[in-house]
Structure 1
């Protein structure tokens, strides 16, 4: 299955934009990450209807979103608070706030720590049964 990698970032005006890392012609903008993700899906559907769609869209594919740290923390703060991020990452809340607000940019090791913690949390959630 082909993976379409979508990069989502926040611009200096507070809006979000996205582009596909591995397929030409997919661009999206919006005031929120949700709007951008919806716009990406619209762009994919539009590309499928063109006379020469990218071959990746002719078979099954999945979308992987690649965020900058600020956008990711802003997007998921509705679900995970700063204390929750601190608990799963080991990074203190003040530092998480600095990353989320764009006051500071995390080093590569910190970004990896956040990414790995979210993946581990996701695995834990997948193992839950009710």
Structure 2
């Protein structure tokens, strides 16, 4: 981090996008930004659509003379958020019990959380996120002969 950058500067460069499954596909929106929302039939389509919406919003802000806001939005890092049930639906190839063992969580608790029977606490969310990131890092090092 540059010495002139503050934590506020870094958080302003992040754009939270919430992805939700609907009866017709998926929706996506930025809860902290006006005018950024879209739908799509597939998970990938809605992610592509949200990028287009952000581009359109940036152009609109520039046309309205708000170039600083447009620049902030243009340079923002997109962070996608799913609820835990949607995550395990989207990535159904993951065995919940084995993943729970991998991250040191009780498999029964993981199944209850993933079905919405038990609320996801902040601590459990961090544990799951950190485990997923560790798994992704492990996968990125795999090569086949």
TM-score by length of 2: 0.64
Other-structure match for 1:5: 16
> Cα RMSD between the aligned structures?
3.0
Other-structure match for 1:100: 114
**Mapped pair 1:70 → 2:85:** yes
Q: Confirm or deny: 8 A CA contact 1:10 1:70 kept in the other structure.
A: no
Residues 81 and 20 of structure 1, relative CA distance in 2, 3 Å threshold: same
Residue deviations 1:29-76, cap 9 Å, x none?
345433321221121122233223633234x33211122211222222
Q: Determine which of 55, 58, 62 is the counterpart of 1:48.
A: 58
Count of residues paired in the alignment:
126
Distance 1:116 1:91 in 2: 12
Other-structure match for 1:57: 73
Per-residue deviation at 1:14?
A: 7.6
Residues 84 and 56 of structure 1, relative CA distance in 2, 3 Å threshold: farther
TM-score by length of 1: 0.70
Distance 1:109 1:48 in 2: 35
Q: Confirm or deny: 8 A CA contact 2:97 2:111 kept in the other structure.
A: no
Q: Confirm or deny: 8 A CA contact 2:18 2:28 kept in the other structure.
A: yes
Structure with higher RCO (Cα < 8 A, 6+ apart): 1
